[in-house]
């Protein structure tokens, strides 16, 4: 099968539409992952009876099961229990929940990297718990983990292709739809791969530069 440039140009708008969905999933999913991950990390660090072990199991379970299985379960099983969501919303939530387990561990490492003297200083100043976390601990912790969280953002962007399995027409889903409808897979899959690369490669360079800048500022 030879490359057909005219066909490639005609399918480009549909693939760009799929790319837009991929970006929506990525940014909405990472927002959920960062928020939930921070909450899980802080609550686990506080070692609250019952809650901390439950959250520990949550992290273990989510990290120990494949993302595709989680997506299938949310899309095909939850409706049997009265919880029916659109494929796109289901995909966003699944991605966010899945990555929250990973970001929680990164947050935990960042929190534990904060020096003991910082906690002692907060105690000496009689700062309330909320102020200690929001003004002293979390700003320092987040600074050290920004590069790692950025890498998860790029990974989520690429992993969003899994959601085509639950009928989300993101970039890969659009390419598969075009390929099956026209019996030509060369152009749509190639363009999809190039679009993934065009986003992820510059992003990875930006993350590395940010990492060097933060390291130099410490």
Q: Report percent pLDDT > 70 for the chain.
A: 98
Q: How many residues does the chain have?
A: 218
Which domain covers residue 43, as residue numbers?
Answer: 5-217
| 213 vs 166: CA distance, rounded Å | 40
Q: Considering the entire predicted model, what is its pTM? A: 0.89
Q: Which two tokens stand for residue 118?
A: 């910082």
Query: What pLDDT, in 10s, does the model give residues 33-64?
Result: 999 999 999 999 988 999 999 999 999 999 99
pLDDT for 217: 57
Residue-level pLDDT at 140: 80
| Residue 63, domain CATH | 1.10.3720.10
Answer left, alpha or beta for residue 42, where phi above 0 means left and psi between -120 and 50 means alpha.
Answer: alpha
Asked if residue 216 has pLDDT above 90, the reply is: no
Question: For 179-215, how does the pLDDT look when each residue is reduced to its tens digit (9 = 90+)?
Answer: 999 999 999 999 999 999 999 999 999 988 888 887 6
- Residue identified by tokens 């190639």 is 190
What's the rounded Cα separation, in Å, for the pair 16 and 63? 31
**Rounded average pLDDT over 164-188:** 95
Both tokens assigned to 70: 């989680």
Tokens of 105: 């561990």
97-111 b/e (C-beta count within 10 Å ≥ 16 → b): bbbbbbbbbbbbebb
Tokens of 42: 């802080």
Which residues 6+ apart lie within 8 Å of 24 measured at CB? 88, 92
Residue 156 has pLDDT above 80, yes or no: yes
pLDDT for residue 138: 81
CB atoms within 10 A of CB 134: 12
Counting the structural domains of the chain, the total is 1
Q: 153 vs 120, which has greater pLDDT?
A: 153
pLDDT, position 112: 86
């Amino acid at each position: 099968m030879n490359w057909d440039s005219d066909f490639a140009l005609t399918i480009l708008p549909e693939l760009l539409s799929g790319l837009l969905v991929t970006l929506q999933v990525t940014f909405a999913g990472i927002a959920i992952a960062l928020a939930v991950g921070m909450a899980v990390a802080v609550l686990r660090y506080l070692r609250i009876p019952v809650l901390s072990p439950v959250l520990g199991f949550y992290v273990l379970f989510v990290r120990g099961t494949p993302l595709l299985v989680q997506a299938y379960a949310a899309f095909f099983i939850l409706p049997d229990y009265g919880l029916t969501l659109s494929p796109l919303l289901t995909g966003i939530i699944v991605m966010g929940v899945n990555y929250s387990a990973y970001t929680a561990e990164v947050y935990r490492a960042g929190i534990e990297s904060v020096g003991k003297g910082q906690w002692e200083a907060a105690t000496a100043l009689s700062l309330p718990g909320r102020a200690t976390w929001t003004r002293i601990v979390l700003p320092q912790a987040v600074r050290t983990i920004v590069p790692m969280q950025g890498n998860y953002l790029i990974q989520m962007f690429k992993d969003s292709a899994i959601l085509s399995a639950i009928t989300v027409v993101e970039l890969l889903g659009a390419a598969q739809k075009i390929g099956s409808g026209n019996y030509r897979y060369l152009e749509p899959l190639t363009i999809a791969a190039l679009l993934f690369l065009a986003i992820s490669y510059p992003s990875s360079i930006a993350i590395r530069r940010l990492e060097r800048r933060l390291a130099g500022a410490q």
